[in-house]
């Protein structure tokens, strides 16, 4: 008697453990991983709000085949450890259909193996490290790889005659990978100054003092966050160095002007176009009560990532393999950031680069940059 | 010469933090792990008064420090005062909790993006071959005056003697007519104000982000331990020394013309501290305890 009760209890417990995503009225769970706290939180905030906006719009229009999307949010804190446990929770406990994230490359690279082994599609709206290319079959991104961006930069340096590059790198996955790619593309012999500092360092005075004795014609502040980049630029200009400076995505932030003022004036940025800026997307974004913390383009990439995923689920259902195959097969998706598709590695194809410059406190477009 | 100027700037910030810590830990014997957050509170409040409310810089700084003092006081009453006499480790737990609450509150109130108290262009002069801005010179001078006067008060005046007496034996001091409880409060609030100065320093010289709290506390502990925890002068001196070593470590070629990689900057300074402590475990400037 007792044994049979026990047996039925065990049986009940076992059935309770099964994923309950079979009912058609249940919400479709989508995970989000990004830095919601910490120094990189502006990126997390922007991509999260972009994600949230897309999800709310889809739900307001009746969801996907009548099923609402439920967003499960995890803080990746811009590091691998937190992102990995976030990915584990999302796949093992929440059984999400897909994940939007991570944002920092370190997050994505740590979460990727977990998503891959759980066969869960993951789309990163912001990770640009070249390593993400090989992160796995289920790993996509709608943000271009730095392998392309550094190639564009090397070409730009060659065209403009910049022969001596001074580089200070913050020791994070994104910035270090960028440093390696840049060194490879530009040529090691052209990097005349190359120092790597601990993440979050804000005292660059002594490195700048050494830069004074170095002959260089372009400075590259390779920081992970605009707070650190502002400190680099301020302290460079403080000591009277007037060489041209050029930077990447991180520098494409109006906050830099607020922080460093004149010190960033004239600085060049090579990055994806400021997608969504001044358009319908920005209006919707602001009407929803959000304000860009770093860049509206980050929100736009996240917005597109959710929508392309929703389209995949709409056509292919909630089966991961079917979603993955659908994403690989997309010919051209018309998003806020442009018309794009994914290559055989899950890397985005079709996002162009532009050269921008800080002029009187504004970031203005100078010209398009072709990669090929 | 520029290296010394760099070290003075970095050292001043470290000295303010270490000074705050020396008061609260060295004098009062209370571990306050929320000190870095209190610095941020001071910095952010000053930013808010100056940039959001548009008050003049000087008034904002005074206001920021005043508010930081009040918040430190509230912190003391809520999470230190009920516990610190029962067991000296209790405040570790309570202040960690407070530091997390502060982190969250700062994130909520001031958002994720970094903030700068003074974004206008700085004015530069060249002093003995080192390029430095007037703002930095003023910050360095004020820091020196401020920490030196605290050190002087503590070690060379009757008020300081009373403070040290209450720390040695609170009840005995009270029985001699020294208001121990009030003095403890004053020391704690002063430590918060010193830390707040540190926060304002960061806000003017670099920029404020909500996550700075913990790293700056660590460096302050290093200076305190190296200087000897009963000697305020020693702590301040060590804060500057650590800053100088950090600058020299990466600013001067060491091995056959090559430099120490910048990533090891703080490691070199902390290694030096370890070496010092091996020779003199109680700290460089620690006095022998007087035994009656």
Please state, in angstroms and rounded to a whole number, the distance separating the CA atoms of residues A133 and A20: 33
CB B21 within 8 A of CB B14: no
A261/B119 touch (CB, cutoff 8 Å), yes or no? yes
A70 DSSP β-pair partners: A29
Cβ neighbourhood burial of B160 (10 Å; 0-12, 13-18, 19+): middle
Q: B-contacting residues of A 23-62, CB under 8 Å?
A: 37-39, 41-42, 44-45
A234 contacts chain B (CB < 8 A): yes
Mean pLDDT, residues A305-311: 95
Please state, in angstroms and rounded to a whole number, the distance separating the CA atoms of residues A177 and A131: 8
B186 DSSP β-pair partners: none
Mean pLDDT, residues A228-245: 90
Please state, in angstroms and rounded to a whole number, the distance separating the CA atoms of residues B11 and A234: 19
Q: Which residue of B has its CA nearest to A195?
A: B262
B191 contacts chain A (CB < 8 A): no
Mean pLDDT, residues A147-151: 87
Structural domains of chain B sorted by starting position, each given as residue range(s) with its CATH number in brackets: 2-279 (1.10.3470)
Least confident of A233-242, B55-64, B161-170: B161-170
Cβ neighbours, 10 Å, residue A157: 22
Q: Given a cut of 70, is residue A130 above it in pLDDT?
A: yes
Shortest distance between the Cα of B249 and any Cα of chain A, in A, equals 9
Give B-chain residues touching A209 at CB under 8 angstroms: 2-3, 6, 251
Q: pLDDT-based confidence at A247, cuts 50/70/90? A: very high
Between A59 and B249, where is the model more confident?
A59
Q: Given a cut of 60, is residue A16 above it in pLDDT?
A: no
Between A301 and B81, where is the model more confident?
A301
* 3-class DSSP state of A144: coil
Between B120 and A128, where is the model more confident?
A128
Q: Is the ipTM of this complex over 0.95?
A: no
Q: Which residue has the tokens 């259902």?
A: A317
Please state, in angstroms and rounded to a whole number, the distance separating the CA atoms of residues A181 and A187: 10
B207/A195 touch (CB, cutoff 8 Å), yes or no? no
Please state, in angstroms and rounded to a whole number, the distance separating the CA atoms of residues B213 and A42: 18
CB A340 within 8 A of CB A348: yes
What percent of chain B is predicted at pLDDT more than 70? Answer: 96
Laid out side by side, the sheet with A98-100 consists of A69-75, A28-34, A98-100, A121-124, A139-141
Q: pLDDT-based confidence at A10, cuts 50/70/90? A: low
The predicted pLDDT at position B245 comes to 87
φ, ψ dihedrals at B65, nearest 5°: -65, -40
A247 DSSP β-pair partners: A269
Q: pLDDT-based confidence at A24, cuts 50/70/90? A: low
What percent of chain A is predicted at pLDDT more than 90? Answer: 59
φ, ψ dihedrals at B239, nearest 5°: -60, -45
Residue in A196, A210, A293 nearest the CB of B251: A210
Give B-chain residues touching A195 at CB under 8 angstroms: 250, 261-262
Mean pLDDT, residues A77-88: 93
The predicted pLDDT at position B246 comes to 86
B116 contacts chain A (CB < 8 A): yes
The sign of the dihedral angle between the CA atoms of A220, A221, A226, A230 is: negative
* 3-class DSSP state of A145: coil
Q: Given a cut of 80, is residue A14 above it in pLDDT?
A: no
A234/B206 touch (CB, cutoff 8 Å), yes or no? yes
Residue in B2, B111, B114 nearest the CB of A230: B114
Beta-carbon contacts below 8 Å between A and B: 109
In Å, how far from its chain's centre is CA B49?
Answer: 22
Q: Given a cut of 90, is residue A94 above it in pLDDT?
A: yes
B207/A227 touch (CB, cutoff 8 Å), yes or no? yes
Residue in B17, B48, B62, B178 with CA at minimum distance from that of residue B110 = B48
Tokens of B105: 């509150």
The predicted pLDDT at position A21 comes to 45
Shortest distance between the Cα of A254 and any Cα of chain B, in A, equals 11
Give B-chain residues touching A230 at CB under 8 angstroms: 114, 116, 206-207
- Residue B123 per-residue DSSP state: -
A368 contacts chain B (CB < 8 A): no
- Residue B120 per-residue DSSP state: S
Q: List pLDDT tens digits, range A174-222.
A: 899 899 999 999 998 999 999 999 888 888 988 998 998 889 999 999 9
Give B-chain residues touching A77 at CB under 8 angstroms: none
Q: List pLDDT tens digits, range A60-75.
A: 999 999 999 999 999 9
Three-point CA angle B134, A196, A75, nearest 5°? 95
For B117-143, b/e burial (b = at least 16 CB within 10 A) is bbbeebeeeeeeebbbbebbbebbeeb
Shortest distance between the Cα of B132 and any Cα of chain A, in A, equals 8
Shortest distance between the Cα of B20 and any Cα of chain A, in A, equals 21
The predicted pLDDT at position A268 comes to 93
Cβ neighbours, 10 Å, residue B242: 28
Residue in A285, A289, A316, A286 with CA at minimum distance from that of residue A301 = A285
Residue in B3, B124, B261 nearest the CB of A195: B261
A171/B263 touch (CB, cutoff 8 Å), yes or no? yes
In Å, how far from its chain's centre is CA A67?
Answer: 28
Between A241 and A278, where is the model more confident?
A241
Mean pLDDT, residues B90-119: 84
Please state, in angstroms and rounded to a whole number, the distance separating the CA atoms of residues A176 and A185: 14
Q: A-contacting residues of B 68-107, CB under 8 Å?
A: 103, 107
Mean pLDDT across chain B: 84
């Amino acid at each position: 008697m007792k044994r049979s009760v026990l047996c039925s209890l065990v049986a009940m417990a076992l059935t309770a453990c099964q994923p309950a995503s079979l009912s058609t009225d249940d919400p479709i769970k989508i995970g989000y991983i990004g830095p919601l706290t910490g120094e990189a939180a502006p990126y997390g905030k922007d991509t999260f709000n972009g994600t949230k906006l897309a999800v709310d719009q889809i739900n307001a229009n009746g969801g996907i085949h009548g099923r609402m999307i439920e967003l499960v949010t995890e803080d990746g804190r811009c590091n691998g450890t937190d992102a990995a446990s976030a990915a584990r929770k999302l796949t093992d406990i929440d059984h999400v259909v897909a994940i939007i994230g991570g944002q920092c490359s370190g997050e994505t690279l740590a979460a990727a193996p977990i998503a891959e082994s759980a066969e869960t599609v993951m789309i990163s709206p912001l990770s640009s490290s070249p390593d993400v290319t090989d992160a796995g079959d289920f790993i996509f991104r709608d943000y271009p790889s730095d392998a392309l961006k550094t190639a564009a930069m090397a070409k730009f340096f060659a065209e403009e005659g910049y022969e001596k590059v001074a580089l200070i790198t913050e020791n994070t996955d994104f910035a270090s990978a960028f440093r390696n790619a840049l060194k490879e593309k530009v040529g090691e012999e052209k990097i005349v100054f190359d120092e790597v500092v601990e993440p979050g360092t804000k005292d660059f005075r002594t490195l700048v003092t050494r830069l004074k004795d170095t002959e260089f014609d372009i400075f590259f502040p390779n920081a992970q966050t605009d707070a650190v980049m502002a400190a680099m630029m301020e302290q460079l200009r403080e000591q009277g160095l007037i060489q041209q400076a050029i930077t990447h995505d991180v520098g494409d932030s109006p906050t830099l002007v607020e922080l460093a003022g004149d010190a960033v004036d004239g600085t060049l940025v090579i990055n994806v176009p400021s997608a969504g800026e001044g358009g319908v997307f920005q209006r919707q974004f602001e009407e929803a009560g959000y304000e860009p913390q770093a860049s509206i383009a980050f929100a736009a990439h996240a917005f597109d990532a959710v929508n392309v995923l929703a389209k995949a689920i709409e056509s292919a259902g909630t089966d991961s393999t079917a979603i993955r195959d659908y994403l690989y097969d997309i010919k051209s998706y018309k998003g806020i950031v442009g018309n794009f598709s994914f290559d055989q590695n899950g890397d985005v194809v079709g996002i162009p680069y532009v050269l921008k410059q800080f002029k009187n406190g504004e970031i203005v477009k100078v010209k398009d940059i072709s990669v090929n | 010469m520029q290296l010394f100027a760099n070290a003075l700037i970095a050292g001043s910030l470290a000295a303010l933090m270490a000074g705050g810590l020396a008061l609260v830990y060295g004098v009062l014997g209370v571990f306050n792990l929320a000190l870095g957050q209190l610095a941020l509170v001071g910095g952010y409040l000053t930013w808010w008064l100056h940039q959001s409310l548009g008050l003049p810089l000087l008034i904002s700084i005074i206001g920021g420090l005043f508010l930081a003092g009040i918040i430190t006081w509230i912190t003391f009453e809520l999470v230190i005062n009920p516990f610190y006499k029962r067991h000296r480790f209790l405040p570790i737990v309570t202040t960690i909790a407070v530091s997390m609450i502060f982190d969250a509150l700062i994130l909520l109130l001031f958002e994720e993006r970094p903030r700068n108290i003074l974004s206008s262009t700085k004015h530069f002069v060249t002093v003995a071959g080192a390029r430095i801005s007037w703002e930095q010179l003023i910050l360095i001078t004020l820091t020196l005056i401020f920490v030196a006067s605290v050190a002087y008060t503590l070690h060379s005046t009757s008020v300081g003697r009373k403070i040290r007496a209450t720390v040695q034996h609170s009840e005995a001091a009270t029985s001699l007519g020294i208001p121990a409880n009030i003095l403890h409060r004053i020391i704690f609030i002063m430590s918060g104000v010193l830390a707040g100065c540190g926060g304002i320093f960061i806000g003017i010289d670099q920029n404020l982000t909500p996550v700075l709290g913990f790293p700056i506390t660590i460096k302050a502990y290093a200076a305190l331990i190296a200087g000897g925890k009963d000697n305020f002068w020693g702590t301040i001196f060590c804060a500057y020394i650590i800053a100088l070593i950090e600058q020299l470590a990466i600013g001067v070629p060491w091995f056959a013309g090559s430099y120490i990689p910048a990533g090891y900057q703080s490691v070199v300074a902390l290694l030096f501290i370890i070496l010092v402590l091996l020779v003199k475990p109680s700290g460089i400037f620690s006095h022998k305890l007087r035994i009656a």
